[in-house]
Structure 1
């Protein structure tokens, strides 16, 4: 069955829609818990920014990243260490702008690397389309978490969700609402006729023909 490939344009659209949804939230709301995540909305956005940024880093070098090679340290014992840290005093708009920057980097990288390129991810060695799909799903899933905590509305459009869902979750049904299905696939909601996903759910990072 044919499907629509995921591209850098989709990543840029995902971060843009998320930024648009987050901006109306009052500054004081960013201390609230981010939906099902065990952290504040501010920390959830920093987590999202670093996750999206990591997708660009993995494919950016002439030889894409493989497990075991030297890389940026993401965690330090006793501290939350991330490459991208936004000054909290600068306010939510600063962290939202970082999300847009990270999304732009992913878009630029995935659209210029050959389809044969592969870079390591814990859930499979991914091609550029895989990293584009991960950028979309990571952004939209955490947009749900963030808007739940911030008390603002958000629902991703079907034409953005469906291609990324098909790329990363080939086991997902195709005759259900795409947004509801994505929330189910990422352990954030229920789907009629399907068992609830366990906390150790995964997506399929490797190209679908390499399953």
Structure 2
């Protein structure tokens, strides 16, 4: 199952896999809802890119705040849309959207790679180190790719090892005995497991 550490290389790998999968469906309807979400496929990818950018920001300062997010400004494109600092130029289409996703992932990976071991940053689910923010970014990518897959229909099955390490880092109380990817989907409220109904609320341990 691999070591419990989640690192910058994992972030880069998952971002590359996600972008490759999404480029294969760039010609489909990105304004359709992503799975069970109220957000469109476009808004969901913007949300992931925004999270990756924000997680990098939580670690990037020499003395990151431990009681709040870095105060980036944000707006919503419509009522019910995600609150975003990172907005993509709609005229650039899905190719531009995926460039922004890839760039945000690169920012997080680079920040995780150079962050001192003792550095911590704020998240409402718990003050976290670089390994934790790497794992959070990977969770956002993996589970939202699952949401997108349900609508856009592309092949998507992440590597079991990275899922297992993310589970150990962020969801140490998740049930054992099932494959890591279905367990991660259960831990994030996407599905049920044998003997464990689908969760209606969830959070990780930063």
Shared fold, TM over 0.5: yes
Deviation at 1:137, TM superposition (A): 0.7
Alpha-carbon distance change, 132 to 70 in structure 1, aligned in 2, over 3 angstroms = closer
More displaced stretch, 105-114 vs 51-60? 105-114
Alpha-carbon distance change, 70 to 39 in structure 1, aligned in 2, over 3 angstroms = closer
Structure 2 contact 25–154 (Cα < 8 Å) conserved = yes
In the alignment, the residues of structure 2 paired with residue 73 and residue 40 of structure 1 have an alpha-carbon distance, to the nearest angstrom, of: 22
In the alignment, the residues of structure 2 paired with residue 69 and residue 127 of structure 1 have an alpha-carbon distance, to the nearest angstrom, of: 14
CA RMSD of aligned residues (A): 2.0
Q: Report the equivalent of 1:144.
A: 146
In the alignment, the residues of structure 2 paired with residue 9 and residue 152 of structure 1 have an alpha-carbon distance, to the nearest angstrom, of: 24
Q: How many residues are aligned here?
A: 203
TM-score, length-normalised on structure 1?
0.89
More displaced stretch, 145-154 vs 40-49? 145-154
Unmatched 5+ stretches in structure 1? 206-211
Is it true that 1:12 corresponds to 2:12 in the alignment? yes
Alpha-carbon distance change, 170 to 70 in structure 1, aligned in 2, over 3 angstroms = closer
In the alignment, the residues of structure 2 paired with residue 176 and residue 49 of structure 1 have an alpha-carbon distance, to the nearest angstrom, of: 30
Q: Report the equivalent of 1:22.
A: 22
In the alignment, the residues of structure 2 paired with residue 77 and residue 20 of structure 1 have an alpha-carbon distance, to the nearest angstrom, of: 26
Structure 2 contact 26–95 (Cα < 8 Å) conserved = no
Deviation at 1:76, TM superposition (A): 6.3
In the alignment, the residues of structure 1 paired with residue 96 and residue 49 of structure 2 have an alpha-carbon distance, to the nearest angstrom, of: 11
Alpha-carbon distance change, 181 to 62 in structure 1, aligned in 2, over 3 angstroms = same
Unmatched 5+ stretches in structure 2? none
In the alignment, the residues of structure 1 paired with residue 150 and residue 18 of structure 2 have an alpha-carbon distance, to the nearest angstrom, of: 13
In the alignment, the residues of structure 1 paired with residue 119 and residue 7 of structure 2 have an alpha-carbon distance, to the nearest angstrom, of: 15
Is it true that 1:201 corresponds to 2:202 in the alignment? yes
In the alignment, the residues of structure 2 paired with residue 170 and residue 30 of structure 1 have an alpha-carbon distance, to the nearest angstrom, of: 35
Deviation at 1:77, TM superposition (A): 10
